[in-house]
Amino acid sequence: MKKNVTELIVCLLSVICFLTACQAPQNEKLADGTYQADVTLTGGSGRATVDSPAAITVKDGKIYATIVWSSPYYDYMMVEDETCYNEAEAGENSTFTIPIEKLPCEISVIADTTA
């Protein structure tokens, strides 16, 4: 029986704002809605990637980024003090909705994989 090995990958997600629905100035509050932002992944093993651009959702003044990994084996991400769990269906690449404070921003995360 194959033993599952858990590997912690520490990475830095740099979310650089690229709004396709509207071009909001950096200090202007974003209206509720869906946007897109380019994502750059650094650190970790260098084997993993994330989809870019990422979907950005603003609801009630709170901003969330939907991060889709290149692998279905990520089970959770630590963002600041919050644990975010994989939302993808079985067999689909791991998908997480993570909170962000503003755009553009850099976010330090820990992602856990079972592969």
Side chain identity at residue 11, one-letter code: C
* 65 is a domain residue: yes
pLDDT-wise least confident of 14-23, 78-87, 103-112: 14-23
DSSP codes, 35-66: EEEEEEEEETTS---B-SSEEEEEETTEEEEE
Identify the sign of the CA torsion 89, 91, 95, 96: positive
Token code pair at residue 36: 């897109």
* 30 is a domain residue: yes
What domain range includes position 56? 7-113
* 2 is a domain residue: no
pLDDT single digits (tens) 27-77: 568 899 999 999 998 887 788 899 999 999 999 999 999 999 999 999 999
What CATH number is given to the structural domain containing 91?
Answer: 2.60.40
The mean per-residue pLDDT over the stretch 2-23 comes to 38
Distance CA 16, CA 34 (A): 15
* 1 is a domain residue: no
Number of domains composing the chain:
1
Contact 66, 93 (CB under 8 A): no
